[in-house]
Structure 1
Amino acid sequence: MALLAVVLTPLAGSTALAQPPAAPAPPAAHVPAPPPAYPDTYLALREVAFSTKPEDVEIQAKPGVEQVYGVIVEFHASGGTSTVVAFGSGDASIYRSNGGGKIGGRREPVVADAARALVALAQIQLTDLPKVTQYPPPAPDHVTVYLLTTAGLRGVEKDQIDIAAADDRLNPLYAGAQQIVSAFSGAPS
């Protein structure tokens, strides 16, 4: 078997050297999208909600009873993350990572009633949520539900389509958060 050798010589006035063809690039590995960068104001408001204690919202803890005094539901909407906060005192807020929101729902009876109803419902569903120590925002297309209790934080993350279904066990908590959003929308500014 004879080998054929090819010698490349540069053309007159040329300085380019011939190089073998480059190997094809390996296929890019699937890298999940990085979590969204949240504005400092949104993160600060979110942190205030998670660090609220029962006495901060005029709730008297009952000795020996795990009592829900706050509910935080987070979901993706309108190109950002919405955080709906409700306390047993009737205080309620909505924070939006892409700007805006509402604070002080206690002044509006319909908002305050919706907040108290959500907390009461969460007390019934307390054992449906495991105890947690961290509270990350939801992944894309997911909803997080957190319960602030006198015994610590409880929470769960669910697919947004699943929790929005009427037959989902946690749908009433998600629907209750949506009720607060609606109540704020109808409240005078």
Structure 2
Amino acid sequence: MIYIFEGMDNCLKDTLIQELRTTLSGKTHVLKYSGPPSSVNAEAYQREHFKDMFDLLNLVMDDSLRSLILNRAHLGEAVYSPLYRGYSGDWIFDLEKEYLKRRKNQENIQLILLYDSNNEALISREDGKSFSSNNNTMLSKERDLFIRAFSKSQITRKLQVDLSDYQKNEQISTEQIMAELQKI
């Protein structure tokens, strides 16, 4: 099974991935993707990087009994490239489409989008490691672009999670989110 966790910084990706790992049997690997080095042509680097990622997923995962969890993958390219790198990353959807056409089994891919519609809550969870701006306008643009990218993705097993919908007593209910994840 392939689990792809995408979304904004400070939206519990790492926490939920660790919880998911405890429920999976067998071999589980977590891969964390990050942006391109500043010393390269960002778009050329990302195109090659994501093509390689999809090739690797096809090579390794079609009939495997292991689980692979991607902490960020390709959707962020459609978000961060127009906001911070100055180009459109929509070519990522063509790569995704080609990848899905080559897969024997698309049912073993799950896409999970995590975001928070409450910018103040996002800012309050800032851990100092975020590359995103803590500016309300930029956070709103980032969220809108993630939702757009999620909608454009052709992966069929998807879960969209607005953390504001899972608040109780000023805490986010990861148990509820995990229950939703088990349903997709």
Higher relative contact order (CA 8 A, sep 6+): 2
Short-chain TM bin: under 0.3
Name the structure with the higher helix share: 2
Greater percentage in strand:
1
Structure 2 length normalisation: TM-score?
A: 0.24
Larger Rg: 1
Q: What is the TM-score normalised by the length of structure 1?
A: 0.24
